[in-house]
Amino acid sequence: MKILYFAWLRERVGKPEEEIALPSNVSTIADLMEWLAGRGEEYAYAFENRNVIRAAIDHVHVKADAPVGAAREIAFFPPMTGG
């Protein structure tokens, strides 16, 4: 599964995207953020304030309880600030 990071999330994680193998105990966006936060210092920093982080599954905005099982691409980003 492809995970994308934008803006300060990208800077904190230190990469724009990566491929992950979804663990079996991760079923929602909230689960995924929790799992990612446990992957190391940079992830813990990126995901320290999870309630401001927005997510999209396959280009569509979703809430934290959205199921992630069928996703091809999941993106995490701060609230969009407009152009």
Partner 1 sequence: MTVTIRLQQEDFDVGAENAVLARGHTDIGAIVTFTGICRDSEAGSDVSAMTLEHYPGMAEAEIARHVETAQARWPLLGVTVIHRYGRLVPGDNIMMVATASAHRQAAFAAAEFLMDYLKTQAPFWKLEERGRDKKWVDAKSSDDRATERWRKD
Residues forming the site for partner 1 (CB under 8 A)? 4, 6-8, 10, 56, 59-60, 75, 77-83
Q: Least separation, in Å, of the C-beta of 27 and partner 1?
A: 23
Distance CA 75, CA 73 (A): 7
- Choose between 35 and 78: whose C-beta lies nearer to partner 1: 78
Q: Is 78 exposed, middle or buried (0-12, 13-18, 19+ CB in 10 A)?
A: middle
2 neighbors 19 (Cβ within 8 angstroms): yes
Whose Cβ is closer to partner 1: residue 58's or residue 65's? 58
- What is the nearest approach in angstroms of partner 1 to the Cβ of residue 9? 9
